[in-house]
Structure 1
Amino acid sequence: MSIIIKLAEVGDDGLPAWGLVEIQGDLLSRSGSPLLGQYVGDLHFTKEGTPILIVGHQLLHGKVINLEKPFAVLHRLRKRIDDDKPETEYIVKAIIKKKLLFKTRPKPIISNISKIK
């Protein structure tokens, strides 16, 4: 599964830098509804820059990888000059140069609860 995120960086070309989150395996909702536009989890970075993804009660550690071939995020704009000639224009919205890869098995988050005697 791939998820696109907006990074705080701006590229040399002045375009916003976006990133791609790649998770090995499947993410399923309990209700069976599609995850498009839904809250999935929290993404954090350690002081060293290692990404950590918290999904429910599970913790995933990942790494940042530079893509060999960047992706361009395009917006298609259709214009009508005349009634007979429609014209299509593509506008570059962002460039995706980095991927956050989470390929290890998730670890459960367990809290220590002290027993009162």
Structure 2
Amino acid sequence: MAENVQCHYEVAALKARKRFITYAVLAVLAPVIAALLCYGLGKPSLWIARGGAVMAGLSFLADLKARDMAEVFKPGGFVGNTFNSTRDKYFPQIRAFLKISVTLVLIGTAVWGFGDLLPSGAE
């Protein structure tokens, strides 16, 4: 039986994708947890803004990983036989990740700026 061996382009792209997903999920969880603290424990709504700050930072890291994934497919020299098929397989995903990461940064910035204005938690 022949094993399904991944080319080094795919290995590098999957490594960056795993880190992107980790940062993106943590970015979404940060303001959600902050809002739960405000509503559940009666904390001041300033904590939602702080959750937005954490979200913006983690979203920026996710954006860096999405760009790392794109950089895999911008080689500086000769490429292997598997380059084009691997690029075609992951390029639509990379474009989506780049859009998602920019959206997360913008949402995190908005939550950071206006999260303390939400009527929740203690005064």
Q: TM-score, normalised by structure 1?
A: 0.23
Report which of the two has the higher share of strand: 1
Larger Rg: 1
Q: TM-score, normalised by structure 2?
A: 0.22
Report which of the two has the higher share of helix: 2
